[in-house]
Amino acid sequence: MQCDYFDSGRCASCALMGVPYAVQLADKHRRCELELADAAPDVVWLDPFASAESAFRNKAKLVVGGRTGAVTLGILDAEANGVDLRACGLHEQPLQQLIPRVAALVDEMGLEPYDVSARRGELKHVILTLSPAGTVMLRFVLRSRRHLALLQSRLPMLLARVPDVAVVSVNLQPEHKAVLEGDTEIVLTSQDVLAMPVNGLTLNLRPNSFFQTNTAVAAGLYRQAQEWMREVSPDAVLDLYCGVGGFALHAAQAAVGRVVGVEVSPDAVLSAERTARELRTGHPDVGDVEFQVGDATDPGALDPDLVRSGRATVVVNPPRRGIGPDLARWLEQSDAAHVIYSSCNVSSLARDLAVLPSYVTRRARLFDMFPQTSHHEVIVLLERR
């Protein structure tokens, strides 16, 4: 991939830009093999799941800079000045076409960019998420409610000018710190979820729901987990850090038995429950699936009966820090026959596998969610010895 922003020195976010993609993929695979060599000496590595090397991101997280009527959408430089990256080639093509139109609307509405150095202004970020169905979620991250009435009044015009946008919301992030969004979300449209078709499922994303930024590779990741679940044929699946239910709902599709998803975000659980209801409506053979609000980092709150049978599978998809010693200890003491662990940090994965001596790592696969960077996603299948 060639990038004018990188070549001109305006953006260095993609550290591997210019490295042939085949070399990037091979280097990531080699690194993951080396990192897991001690903790998983007998693992069988499947072929890496490659991505398109450009136009793969379904989400644009754009810092707003510049001045009122002439905003930049992109990043900030070392002096906190806006660097406009509206033509970034990482975004899927519909987003590349939409971002300049959104920038023009921001200018036309007179939304005031937040000035990091002066600590004044309102609009901090614009976040766009694209569904494979072609619809878009648009979120404005504001410092306060000052522009809220303006956005509400201009909503009909906005939707008429960008008809692909199905969901519009305002997120309030009042603090002066490097945090993308705050806790308060105000949905302006009647539609409050973005329908995200994946492998025949339609996941429902609320504005602050997490979803992988590479839809095609995420779909492959879910299919791999589903294939392994069909293979081991558990009578129960416990999906920890389940988010909007991607792994759990793919397990239910496989009719593997009772499926329970646990997620700390109530909004994500509502999204997962909605998808489960829709799935049951058209597919009466779908297995028993339910979702619970709970913190997977607090194993004391988990019901051990969910994995009591000895034929259960636990799915974990933690943040970069990994599952940690408490959950690892809970897994060790459980009766779960298999664990499917999806990790975005092979170093924390290796650390966690080392403290799970009751399990042997049978298979592993790299899923390249993030071409042009060293980031990676690795999924492994563990089996109790």
User: What residues are labeled active site?
Assistant: 344
CA 265 to chain centre: 14
- Burial label for 62, CB within 10 Å (0-12, 13-18, 19+), is buried
Residue 340 contacts residue 228 (beta carbons within 8 Å):
yes
Contact 244, 209 (CB under 8 A): yes
Query: What distances in angstroms separate CA 369 from CA 25, 307, 363, one per listed residue?
Result: 11, 31, 19
Identify the sign of the CA torsion 55, 57, 59, 60. negative
- Residue recorded with tokens 């490659």: 50
Q: Which of 144, 136, 179 is nearest to 161 (CA)?
A: 136
Rounded to 5 degrees, what angle do the CA atoms 367, 368, 372 make? 170
Alpha-carbon gap, residue 204 to 135, rounded angstroms? 12
Residue 16: C-alpha distances to residues 2, 54, 366 (Å): 11, 12, 17
